[in-house]
Amino acid sequence: MNRPRARRRIPSRDIATLCQSSGVNIRITSYDNEPVRKGVIPFVGDLDAHTAPTLQKAVDRTIASAPASSIIIDLTDVPFIDSSGLSVIVAAHSRLTDAGAGVRLVANSPRVTKVLALTGLDAIIPTFPTVEAALAG
């Protein structure tokens, strides 16, 4: 009987070294061990079906730590967003609105802001160009 081989965890610094040596530019960001500061959830990279669960985990963790507080989802470093990412944002908005709080978005990429405008989410969820503006907003 064949047993599945155990996965070997590769430290992120080794992955970065490997990618740099092959000419690939990559930024590795870990959200699992970072404390959530002031309810701001930064996200880096494409927000699609593959990465939306990462945002969902961060949103769940943030809401669990302060259920009646508003959160800010920072999409500044998101070049692309699809319906999976939008779904996470809408679900967070619904959960927090029911609890008397809300979601604020930070987006300044033309692609992301266009998607938010086309879907009408920018009219429902307050959207700001910077984290500072969202915190003040």
Domain annotation covers residue 10: no
Q: What is the Cα–Cα distance from 107 to 124, expressed in whole angstroms? A: 14
pLDDT of 13 strictly over 80: no
Q: Render pLDDT for 49-103 as a digit per residue (tens, 0 to 9).
A: 999 999 999 999 998 888 778 999 999 999 999 999 999 999 999 999 988 899 9
What is the 3-state composition of the chain as percent helix, strand, coil, each rounded to the nearest 5? 45, 15, 40
Q: Render pLDDT for 120-133 as a digit per residue (tens, 0 to 9).
A: 999 999 999 999 99
Domain annotation covers residue 115: yes
pTM (2 d.p.)? 0.73
CATH number of domain containing 52: 3.30.750.24
**Structural domain for 77, as ranges:** 29-136
pLDDT at 38 (0 to 100): 63
